[in-house]
Structure 1
């Protein structure tokens, strides 16, 4: 976990020292996660997978963030297949997408940090 703490400290450093690079990294990370979420979403009807969206950049808390998820009419029902119901087993596709995209997103941040140190 020590490595993860160092990475989070570097992300904060990136946001403070180079906000333009931080926004670029967040945009890339959001697109990577959206790609994995779309790929992992079950496609019985195709409605959920085709409705994966990335939101606008926000910085209201002093930290940059961008939400990725299901938009419109799909958002309210996405949690049923993902988390399961009494009669339906949980598929956990959102967690799987997070795990699959984690290393790729961290590599984007690491690359921006290397550029910051140059």
Structure 2
């Protein structure tokens, strides 16, 4: 998975150099796709008093610095600290690995989005 991610970031850096607006559009599109997939994979608690993880997924603004544009996608402040328990598991509950499942599911789609955006810019 690391090789694929490195290739995505390299291509995104090239795209950023040629067409920054299109690169930002690609990152935003991938972030939206990731959010949808995370909502599907996130387990739902039976507790009615707590804000559910699924209902508190956030996408950040573009991060400054770095070679390529990027956004953070994850859970909000009120629920983010709880996400590690169902994801990694505890002595009372089996790990559900929903974050890893989401990354593995969205990586091919992200590569496809970046490839299509690069084709738009480079005309290949």
Fold shared, TM-score > 0.5 on shorter chain: yes
* Distance verdict in 2 for CA 1:97–1:21, change over 3 Å: same
Secondary structure of residue in 2 paired with 1:10: helix
Alignment of 1:25-36 (within 5 A): 25-36=26-37
User: What is residue 85 of structure 1 aligned with on the other side?
Assistant: 90
Q: What are structure 1's unaligned runs of at least 5 residues?
A: none
String of CA shifts for 1:12-55, please: whole Å, max 9, x gaps: 10011111111100000101001000110001247000111101
* Distance verdict in 2 for CA 1:33–1:84, change over 3 Å: same
Find the aligned partners of 1:34 and 1:68 in 2 and give their Cα distance: 7
User: What is residue 76 of structure 2 aligned with on the other side?
Assistant: 71
TM-score normalised per structure 1: 0.89
**1:102 matches 2:102:** no
Q: 1:6 offset after TM fit, Å?
A: 4.9
Matching residue within 47, 52, 55 for 2:57: 52
| Cα RMSD after superposing both structures | 2.0
Secondary structure of residue in 2 paired with 1:44: coil
**1:115 matches 2:120:** yes
* Bigger strand share: 1
Find the aligned partners of 1:2 and 1:95 in 2 and give their Cα distance: 16
* Distance verdict in 2 for CA 1:37–1:6, change over 3 Å: closer
Secondary structure of residue in 2 paired with 1:39: helix
